[in-house]
Structure formats: structure tokens, C-alpha cells
Structure 1
Amino acid sequence: MDMLKAVVFRAGYEEYALPIGHVMSIEKPEHINFIPNMPSYMKGVVNVRGEFIPVLDIKQIFYHEDTAIDEQVKLIVVQAEEMSAAIIVKEAREIINIQENALKQFTIGAFQATKYFTNVASLDDRLILMIDPDLFLSSLEGIALVKEGMRKELSHKGLNP
């Protein structure tokens, strides 16, 4: 039976997961450099192994509330088709194997704002929403502006993006 390996995290009171194949690393939220005039969900950039990566607050995206930075908060650095991003999450809880038969299709009609929720993993008493990183990042309003704004701001500061 096929298995999907995923990183489970919390945002708000819900559990979400990203396929492990897209996760580059899990980091502590240190040295987030603020960049002005970005969307409210973008908290700045971090330097991860020589690459400047935008920091996105997933709680701000999903619930329009900022994630309080404490010792439980982590940055999940994901690689998507278009770009890499560091996602601020509450509790990067675990890496799990999900059996294919535990994944249920998740659709909310034609609601485009949640097209990145691809499945729900039904595990005993847990429901975990699966996120497609490519669809997630490409669905963010202004993501092209974020990428271009980062390039300009970093160049202006004399950094090579």
C-alpha cells in the first residue's frame, strides 16, 4: 500500500500537513529581516544556506491573525515550483506516514481560495488538511510582487538576491 510522508503542523487550532518532498528544512524563527510595503502575511526574509527566502505567516493567511513568536514556533522551509518560502507555523509537530486509503478528497466546490487543500487525512481522532505547496504559494495574492519586491529591496541594500 502506498504511503505519503508529511510534516504535520498547527496553525490556529487546526492541523495541516505538507508533503515531505517539498520540505527543505525546519528552522527556528531567528533573524527575520523586515521588508517594508509587503503584504500583511509576509513578515520579511531569512537567509537559509545563502538563499534569501520570504517568510510567510500561515495563520495570517488562513485566519487574518499574526502568529505570536514563542519557543514552539518554527519556520518550515518549502520548495515549490515557483519559489521557496519559509512558513511560520505553530508547532511543527511530527513527520508521519499516511496510508493512501486514509486520504479523502476535499472540495469546497469552485472556491478558489482553498484550492491548495488537496486532501484530508483521516487518522483515528484527527483530521489533517493536506496542502499542496505549489498551489498554496501560487494562490497568494501578490506573490509575484513579493518576489519582485524582495529582489529590488535586497539589491537596494546591496545584497545579492
Structure 2
Amino acid sequence: MNILKQQQKTLGELLINSGIINKEQLDAALKEQKNTEEPLGKILVRMGFAKEEDIINVLKGMLVVIFEINNESFGIEIIFTKEIIKYKKIVQIPTMPKYIKGMISIRDNVIPVISLNQIIHKKEDVITEDTRIIIVEKKNDEVGILVDKVIAVKNFHANDFEDLSKSSISAEKKYMAGIIKDQDKVITLIKSEFLFLGKFNE
């Protein structure tokens, strides 16, 4: 799977997640689109909600949710991210490995929660006001990942990303798809498929 594949979410969702427009602006542009049948991007520019260069950058880039675990920066592509919720009580399941924190219920949907801190650092999670659960989905499967805090949602260009999925580093660190260079910071991009393996220590 190409990590840099074109985003599958709509242009409006991508622009909102990038912080370029808000929902009210998108709704206004969609209403205008019904009357004019113009491309959404063109309408957003004409209405002054977005710049043409912003739209181009979003479409050719990669949107990533950046989060922190044990003072390290990680990221996951937003196309795999369903939602981010505040920490809520997790129902523990006896005899499960330490990295499986338990189950949570969201709108009558029961979702397993895993700890990347346990998987990567073999450390216990410290729950604070900043703790979040990122709900990741793929092919109708969902899993929650427990993180110390969510930093931002940011758009990156292809040249910011170094693919390590076939390198010896990735063979050792199976969770790593690559790294993203963000100014003076390095962000480890998590493989979405890794989160659905079910077994992480083998």
C-alpha cells in the first residue's frame, strides 16, 4: 500500500481537518454549489474562504494526526482516523496481554483499546487530562489507540516523508511506516495495518 496515496476523504473534510475552513464555510459553499454546479474548490476560493494554493497543497499532501507517547512524536494518516475522543473508562478483560487495555463503548459500538506505549516502550500509561483515544478504522474494523496527547492535524508534502516500510529498521520496528521531518522534529508514522494485527510481540 502506498503511504502517499491520494486522500480518500472529500475535499471539504480535508480542508476542515487542515484548519483552512470551518463547517459553516463548507456548508455555505456546498449550498452555492447546488446553484452553480461549479467545482467546490473554485467556489471556496471565490467566496474568500480558502486560497487556491491551500487547496492544491491539501490535495497533493498527506494529512496526519500527530500525537505524543512517552515524550515522542508519532503520527497516523487521517484517512484511517474516524474520531478522537477524551479518555473514558476502559472495561478491562482478564487474561489479555498488557497492551490490550480493554474495551470501550461508543454509540453502542464496542471497540478494543490498545496501548502503543506498552507495545513500543513496554511502559505503563499515565492517564492525565490530555490523554486521548484515537479511533482508527480500516475495512469496517475499528480499534482505539491510547495516546498521551494529540498535538495537531497537519498536512505534509511528499518530500517531508521518508518511507521505511521495506527497510531493516521497519523489519525490527514493525509499527513504523516511515518518518516525517517537521522542521526540527522527527515524527514516526505508524502503519495503520499494524494496529489490526492482533499480535504485536511475536
Q: Deviations along 1:22-58, whole A, 9 cap, x unmatched?
A: 1111111212111111111011100012211111111
Show the counterpart of 2:152.
Answer: 94
Higher helix share: 2
Confirm or deny that 1:119 pairs with 2:173. no
TM (norm. structure 1) is: 0.80
Which protein is bigger by CA-based radius of gyration?
Answer: 2
Tell me by how many angstroms 1:141 deviates: 3.4
Taking a change above 3 Å as real, the CA distance of residues 140 and 113 of structure 1, as seen in their structure-2 partners, is: farther
Tell me by how many angstroms 1:112 deviates: 3.5
Show the counterpart of 2:200.
Answer: 141
Unaligned runs of 5+ in 2: 1-56
CA distance in 2, matches of 1:135, 1:97: 22
Unaligned runs of 5+ in 1: 143-161
Show the counterpart of 2:127.
Answer: 69
Match of 1:121, as an amino acid? I
Match of 1:39, as an amino acid? P
Higher strand share: 1
| Partner secondary structure for residue 60 of structure 1 | helix
Give the counterpart of 1:25 among 83, 100, 106. 83
TM (norm. structure 2) is: 0.65
Match of 1:140, as an amino acid? K
CA distance in 2, matches of 1:19, 1:100: 13
Give the counterpart of 1:11 among 64, 69, 73. 69
Kindly indicate whether structure 1 or structure 2 has the higher relative contact order, using CA contacts under 8 Å at least 6 residues apart: 1
